[in-house]
Amino acid sequence: MSRPIRVAIVGAGPAGIYAADALMKSEVAADPGVSIDLFERMPAPFGLIRYGVAPDHPRIKGIITALHQVLEKPQIRLFGNVDYPTDLSLDDLHRFYDAVVFSTGAMADRELKIPGIELDGSYGAADFVSWYDGHPDVPREWPLEAEKVAVLGVGNVALDVARILAKTADELLPTEIPANVYEGLKANKALEVHVFGRRGPAQAKFSPMELRELDHSPNIEVIVNPEDIDYDEGSIATRRGNKQADMVASTLENWAIRDIGERPHKLFLHFFESPVEVLGENGEVTGLRTERTELDGTGNVKGTGAYTDWDLGAVYRAVGYLSEELPKLPWDAVSGTVPHEAGRVMEAGHHLPSTYVTGWIKRGPVGLIGHTKGDANETVACLIEDFRAGALRTPDAPQEDAVLAHLTANQVAYTTWDGWKLLDAYEKALGEPQQRERVKVVEREEMLRASGVTLPQE
């Protein structure tokens, strides 16, 4: 091949950027070279880090620094505010590129099929996260009228939701939250937040650091019932074989034996309580019914037949994210992923030529952000193997300006990496008068203008 390999990556979150980095570090980067275009439907890059990580986690957002270094490379271009398949179809992508990698992540809520889940006051955690993270495509207001709130799930997203609900707006003001989120949280009436898990402390999926951070707020009293500290043989084996699980269990044990303090907001961590029904009247949430469970010796649990009705005004389910189906690609509705073999998209037992997946759309929304590096390396290795074998499709228009002409002809108001730098500076300037690092811009049109894009009506 007398030209660089042209690769399109759809989704400019961590998974997509890690894939670009893996390509840049591969042997083909030197010969014949690579030319990579990242397409992102949001005007700004970084995906989950910008729109899925709680604003009071600057440590995690520090990952952006490493991602910046990747996107600075001249062989990589960013096109934001470009939607698949509206602005670029699969046929378009194959016309312009030797290979296409989908890394669109997961931003929807997985279903929880229990009675009453559809009541007003019953919410998906992903929707709430999108609101407090200033996602431009969600409503600007969020109802926060309930004084007692339930969060269903024992993963890090559940902790994020519980912590944001339990903190005061002023505690969060130094972060990047936009004005509408600050005003919404100021009106939050929640005084009690109850987190429910159906299994025990050894099975909780919290990371130790995230769990300990709950107790750092001067306004949040974390409470664990001593009766919820229980282990069977399977649980003990888990603690012995998993350092993080052991650290989580130890933290919970320490909280269970201490005296309850006087911090104004109470955050209860309940274990061995399986949600079976969201209770309601007149179409609105009034409570939650749980069944008490007990360990069965293996670390799993079984129901005891003992039920508790909890007086609650809102319920948030944090039982997992779900990817959105991608048009023109095969789909596994159960797992919410694209069928693949080591990243090669598979349909009817055959690899769709030049088509690959990485990240959560590949393996499901599990693991931490850094785990997507392994996904990217595996997928890119397959792509390079296919290139060496002559198995990639030959694009009709591989020139770098061909896709630019297509976007321009279709009046797509796309942003660029230089545009992100402008938006980045703009958000930081908004924060300066308040001595904040930045204030996130919510409105899509304002993001585009700040990125240097001239809108059609202008």
Q: What would the 3-class secondary structure string for 362-394 be?
A: HHCCCCCHHHHHHHHHHHHHHHHHHHHCCCCCC
Q: What six digits make up the tokens of 416?
A: 């660029």
pLDDT digits (tens, 9 = 90+) for 396-406: 999 999 999 99
Question: Are residue 80 and residue 156 in the same domain, yes or no?
Answer: no
How confident is the model over 186-211, as pLDDT tens digits? Answer: 999 999 999 999 999 999 999 999 99
pLDDT tens digits, one per residue of 216-243: 999 999 999 999 999 999 999 999 999 9
Is the predicted pLDDT of residue 458 greater than 80, yes or no? no
Instruction: Find the distance separating the first CA and the last CA of the chain, reported in whole Å.
Output: 43
The reply to whether 268 and 176 lie within a common domain is yes
Count of residues making up the chain: 458
Q: What is the pLDDT of residue 280?
A: 98
* Phi, psi of 316, rounded to the nearest 5 degrees: -115, 125
Which pLDDT value is given to residue 1? 67
* Lowest-pLDDT choice from 9-13, 370-374, 383-387: 370-374
- Residues 188 and 145 occupy one common structural domain: yes
Burial class (CB in 10 A: 0-12, 13-18, 19+), 86: exposed
pLDDT of residue 143: 97
Question: Which residues are CB-contacts of 75 (< 8 A; sequence separation ≥ 6)?
Answer: 4, 24, 29, 33, 34, 35, 36
- What does the alpha-carbon distance between residue 178 and residue 170 come to, in Å, rounded to a whole number? 13
Mind listing the pLDDT tens digit for each residue in 121-133?
999 999 999 999 9
Is the separation of the CB atoms in 46 and 67 below 8 Å?
A: yes
Q: Mean pLDDT, to the nearest integer, of 327-355? A: 95
Quote the pLDDT of residue 371. Answer: 75
> CA–CA separation, 194 vs 191, rounded Å?
10
Q: How confident is the model at residue 63 (pLDDT cuts 50, 70, 90)?
A: confident
Rounded to 5 degrees, φ, ψ at 123 are -130, 155
List, in order, residues 6 or more apart from 409 with CB less than 8 Å away: none
Q: Which residues contact 83 (CB under 8 A, 6 or more apart)?
A: 41
Q: Report the range of poorest mean pLDDT among 166-170, 243-247, 454-458.
A: 454-458
- One domain for residues 153 and 209: yes
400: CATH: 3.40.50.720
Tell me the mean pLDDT in the region 336-345. 97
Residues 223, 298 within the same domain: yes
Position 96 pLDDT exceeds 70: yes
Say whether pLDDT at 93 is over 80.
yes
* Reported confidence tier of residue 140, pLDDT bands at 50, 70, 90: very high
Q: Is the pLDDT of residue 450 over 90?
A: yes
Q: Which domain holds residue 34?
A: 5-106+323-414
Average pLDDT over residues 57-86: 91
Above 60 in pLDDT, residue 437?
yes
| Shared-domain flag, residues 198 and 238 | yes
Are 316 and 360 in the same domain?
no
Residue 60 has pLDDT above 80, yes or no: no
Backbone phi and psi for residue 314, each to the nearest 5 degrees, phi listed first: -155, 150
DSSP single-letter state for residue 217: -
Bond prior to 74 in cis (omega within 30° of 0): no
pLDDT at residue 392 in the model: 97
180 and 85 in a common domain: no
Q: Which of 231, 230, 223 is nearest to 258 (CA)?
A: 223
- Tokens representing 71 are 């996107």
pLDDT band at 58 (very low <50, low <70, confident <90, very high): confident
Q: Rounded to whole angstroms, how far apart are CA atoms 249 and 452?
A: 50
Whether residues 360 and 236 share a domain: the answer is: no
Phi, psi at 67, each rounded to 5°: -65, -35
pLDDT band of residue 457 (cuts 50, 70, 90) is low
CA distances for 118 relative to 145, 188, 278, 307, 322, angstroms: 18, 22, 9, 21, 18
Note the helical H segments in 290-439: 360-363, 372-388, 400-409, 417-431
- Indicate whether 364 and 299 sit together in one domain: no
Mean pLDDT of 452-456: 87
332 and 306 part of one domain: no
pLDDT at 62: 74
Backbone angles phi, psi at 241, to 5 degrees: -95, -5
**Judgement on whether residues 229 and 348 belong to the same structural domain of the protein:** no
My answer on whether omega of the bond before 433 falls inside 30° of 0, hence cis, is no
| Number of domains, the chain | 2
Over the stretch 306-322, which tens digit does the pLDDT of each residue have?
999 999 999 999 999 99
Report the CATH number that the domain containing residue 247 is assigned in CATH. 3.50.50.60
| pLDDT for position 216 | 94
